[in-house]
Structure 1
Amino acid sequence: MHPTSSVALDDFAAAAPHDSSPHDARLWRFLLRHGSGAMAYSSLQPGALHFVHEQLGYLAYIPVRHPLFAPRGMHVVIGDPVAAKADFAALLDAYAAANDAAVTVFLDIGRDFADVVSARGYPVNEFGVNWNIELAGFDAELRGKHYSHLRRWRNKARSEGVEVQEGRLGELDGAELRELNREWLSRKGGKDLAGLVRPLILYDEEGVRYFWARRQGRLLALAVFDPMYRDGRVIGYLHNASRAIKEAPNGTNDAIVLQAINQFKAEGREVLSLGLSPLALKSGEAYPHNRLVARGFDFIYRRCSFIYPCQGNFFHKEKYCAQQQPSFIAGIPTLKLYHLLGILRALGTL
């Protein structure tokens, strides 16, 4: 199911990094043309494998094998296919025909791909909401009652002397950057997550933007923004990763995001994605689905903050007054409750 022959790259591939391997170049060919989804750039993350169709596009997945919940293998596919929406069905059929895993779980997919998967008879459950800020309409002055939390967080950071700037990671002291990452991870279980959150890479990456905050010269926080592409141009960014030391004043991360929003808006970008709030805002299942999985998600959202602070994530992102888009999860040939353990394994939480 992996590609075995090279392709003739089109003009889009010319924008790929010059040191890309042939495999990377194939991914960039489709990413630069069809990578407008928030999770598209995450398809390049370490540990991800790829099903590539030479004419249509590709799927990125994390392979999982476990003696209890994935004894015959599981693929956890990350986000929508990197392909034209018109080709989703053909790409899914090609993947299903070549699939060498007993189960495939499609994680954090949008309505267009969910329509295709459901039409093939596979169960599709709601998975949460994604948040998109339309930059042209965002009020940089944060006026009005609905922005009151953001104003308070931004003003708190300013009053504490927090200063934000953009640059390349290569401009930072390596030891300082590694210490920021180590200190943050030590409070988050000691390891980075994968899949839904692309792991932080401690060197400059193609197209990725970096903003950080300092106070009196000390590095307080870092935020990473992944590019979103359409027809060879950057249309926006995903706020993918954040790091902050424990002593960072409240509002430091929001001060970084707000400055990034203003910068991207000034450049004429279309959108900033705040990413997924998993298992949040259940509005009723839109497709034939597994009811036990739906109940399991609801229980995790309400009672399992030790796994992931779902409610806190939703509360914070809601204050940006972004547009909400439903996210879905689907399974081939089916989606069972115990598959959740396989998903948690793939994401690095087990």
Structure 2
Amino acid sequence: MARRIACLKQFGSHSMSFSTLQPDMSYFDKPGIGYIAYARHWGMRFVLADPVCHPQHQELMLDDFLATFSDAVFVQVSKPVIDHLHHRYRYYGTQFGSESKVDLGNWSLRGGKKQIIRTAINQARNQGLEIRESGFDPEVRKISQAWIRTRRCKNNEIRFLIRPMLIDYREGTRYFYAYHGGEAVGFVFFDPIYQNGKLVGYVPNISRSSANFKQGLWYALMAHAMEVFKAEGVAYIDLGLVPLMMDRSVEPQESRLLRGTMSVIRERMDFLYNFKGLEFAKSRFQGTVEKTYCAHRSALPALAMTAMFRLTRIL
């Protein structure tokens, strides 16, 4: 674990690098080089994010991993990973969603699309809410449980693609809370992103808020935290995954069958997950959108996709 943490702090540049250390993960380690994190479900292996290693060792890590686990599925990986898996191993590399990065050096609240953020900030102020950073408070579990009951997935906290709220390793994480009358009514937890041994960004991985705040307390919490990070000289915020937010163009290595299936899920199965609502909320920050992919062996990996949705507890 100590070696993985050291590797994370040196090469953890993927938005999900920190989440690779969540509970119930398995690891493929190459001491002195890096590691690949994966979860097992229904006899399958699901790799989470890019290998945590120096970019020049990425292909070596993938080759050695696939020599042992040749049928693994890769989830939320970057284009360089897809290119290698496709050209060398004939994997399909299908868009899985998108991420959005906000350059904090140029961040401001100006612009028409940010009106909803400004409205949320004003409402928070008018309601007497105080937003501030603090240490981890175990009592926020109550807010989380109430929030989950308002979601599409009411029975369980989503895992794997979103790391659990309660984890053993928390170094570098940041916690911002909204208080009303001394009581916490919302929060956003941020995980660190590293590059070349330096902290370069944060990703908001856990967020919860009271359903009574109509304009979205998340906007006000995010705007406050981003101003704090900007003042500290943090380079950017990665807003994290928007599942099934896919570019209209289809790339040569993609499976058209899986693309079509995921488009149907996004358009017609909103009861599973609020795909469009999440896309709208994150788009208000007007970040730079980047594609993220899943890599799979068959053109329509129906069993693997079902297993992954079960793993994440969406199903």
Give the TM bin, normalised by the shorter chain: over 0.9
The equivalent of 1:237 in structure 2 is 202
Instruction: Output the aligned Cα RMSD.
Output: 1.8
Cα distance in 2 for partners of 1:86, 1:268 equals 28
Matched, 1:177 2:154: no
Moved more, 53-62 or 200-209: 200-209
Q: Give yes or no for contact 1:125–1:287 (8 Å, CA) kept in 2.
A: no
Alignment of 1:217-256 (within 5 A): 217-256=182-221
1:289 aligned counterpart, secondary structure: coil
2:62 aligned counterpart, secondary structure: helix
Q: Give yes or no for contact 1:157–1:251 (8 Å, CA) kept in 2.
A: no
Q: Give yes or no for contact 1:184–1:243 (8 Å, CA) kept in 2.
A: yes
Measured at CA, do residues 244 and 130 of structure 1 come closer, stay the same or move farther in structure 2, by a change above 3 Å? same
The equivalent of 1:347 in structure 2 is 312
- Give the C-alpha shift of residue 254 in structure 1: 1.0
The equivalent of 1:296 in structure 2 is 261
Question: Residue 266 of structure 1: which of 231, 251, 261 is its match?
Answer: 231
Matched, 1:82 2:47: no
Q: Give yes or no for contact 2:95–2:246 (8 Å, CA) kept in 1.
A: no
Alignment of 1:302-341 (within 5 A): 302-332=267-297, 336-341=301-306
What letter corresponds to residue 77 of structure 2 in structure 1? I
Q: Give yes or no for contact 2:96–2:246 (8 Å, CA) kept in 1.
A: no
2:47 aligned counterpart, secondary structure: strand
Question: Residue 174 of structure 2: which of 209, 214, 221 is its match?
Answer: 209
Unaligned runs of 5+ in 1: 1-23, 66-72
Question: Residue 95 of structure 2: which of 126, 144, 150 is its match?
Answer: 126
Question: Residue 39 of structure 2: which of 32, 42, 62 is its match?
Answer: 62
What letter corresponds to residue 212 of structure 1 in structure 2? Y
Measured at CA, do residues 63 and 203 of structure 1 come closer, stay the same or move farther in structure 2, by a change above 3 Å? closer
1:214 aligned counterpart, secondary structure: strand
Matched, 1:103 2:71: yes
Moved more, 312-321 or 194-203: 194-203
Superposed CA offset, 1:76-97 (max 9, x none): 1111111122222111110011
The equivalent of 2:246 in structure 1 is 281
- Give the C-alpha shift of residue 308 in structure 1: 1.1
Cα distance in 1 for partners of 2:63, 2:299 equals 16
Question: Residue 132 of structure 2: which of 153, 158, 165 is its match?
Answer: 165
- Give the C-alpha shift of residue 328 in structure 1: 0.7
Cα distance in 2 for partners of 1:245, 1:202 equals 23
- Give the C-alpha shift of residue 289 in structure 1: 2.6
1:212 aligned counterpart, secondary structure: strand
Cα distance in 2 for partners of 1:203, 1:61 equals 18
- Give the C-alpha shift of residue 303 in structure 1: 0.8
Identity of aligned residues (%): 29
The equivalent of 2:104 in structure 1 is 135
Moved more, 276-285 or 334-343: 334-343
The equivalent of 1:147 in structure 2 is 114
The equivalent of 1:41 in structure 2 is 18
Q: Give yes or no for contact 1:154–1:251 (8 Å, CA) kept in 2.
A: no
- Give the C-alpha shift of residue 202 in structure 1: 6.8
The equivalent of 1:112 in structure 2 is 80
Q: Give yes or no for contact 1:156–1:251 (8 Å, CA) kept in 2.
A: no
Measured at CA, do residues 27 and 219 of structure 1 come closer, stay the same or move farther in structure 2, by a change above 3 Å? same
Q: TM-score, normalised by structure 1?
A: 0.85
- Give the C-alpha shift of residue 48 in structure 1: 1.1
The structure 1 segments of at least 4 consecutive aligned residues displaced by more than 6 Å after TM superposition are none
The equivalent of 1:25 in structure 2 is 2
What letter corresponds to residue 88 of structure 1 in structure 2? Q
What is the aligned length?
312
1:237 aligned counterpart, secondary structure: strand
2:95 aligned counterpart, secondary structure: strand
Measured at CA, do residues 279 and 258 of structure 1 come closer, stay the same or move farther in structure 2, by a change above 3 Å? same
Q: Give yes or no for contact 2:113–2:284 (8 Å, CA) kept in 1.
A: yes
1:320 aligned counterpart, secondary structure: coil
2:245 aligned counterpart, secondary structure: coil
Superposed CA offset, 1:311-350 (max 9, x none): 1111111110011001111024776133210110111223
Cα distance in 2 for partners of 1:217, 1:204 equals 28
2:218 aligned counterpart, secondary structure: helix
Unaligned runs of 5+ in 2: none
Q: Give yes or no for contact 2:257–2:300 (8 Å, CA) kept in 1.
A: no
Measured at CA, do residues 256 and 204 of structure 1 come closer, stay the same or move farther in structure 2, by a change above 3 Å? farther
- Give the C-alpha shift of residue 237 in structure 1: 0.4
